[in-house]
Amino acid sequence: MIVTFGIAKLSNGKIRLEVGRPQHTATAHHTYSSLEAVRRVLSNVGVPSEITDFYFQLLPKLDSNQLLQFPPLHITEHQLAAEGLKPE
């Protein structure tokens, strides 16, 4: 399935990870306590570390709650479901 990931740092210091399907309203999201937790989830679903590293470098430059969108990626439904991130 083609999905986009987005990350945002929240005002309470947590990180929000959003998953959506391009051209659909289906989304899923979770809030994590650290970037390392988000990195682990992204790695588990198959997002290459080079992409994660690049976007994580940009995150400190964003305002709170501003969403940083990853490029569309092909991730299997099984991988997303295993992390509780399958867009519904």
The per-residue pLDDT for 81 is: 92
Which pair of structure tokens corresponds to residue 1?
């399935």
Rounded CA separation 84/61 (Å): 28
The per-residue pLDDT for 25 is: 85
Q: In Å, how far from its chain's centre is CA 25?
A: 16
Which pair of structure tokens corresponds to residue 47?
């997002």
The per-residue pLDDT for 36 is: 95
The per-residue pLDDT for 87 is: 85
Residues of the chain with pLDDT under 70: none
- φ, ψ of residue 35 to 5 degrees: the values are -65, -35
**Chain length of the chain:** 88
Q: How many CB atoms lie within 10 A of CB 82?
A: 13
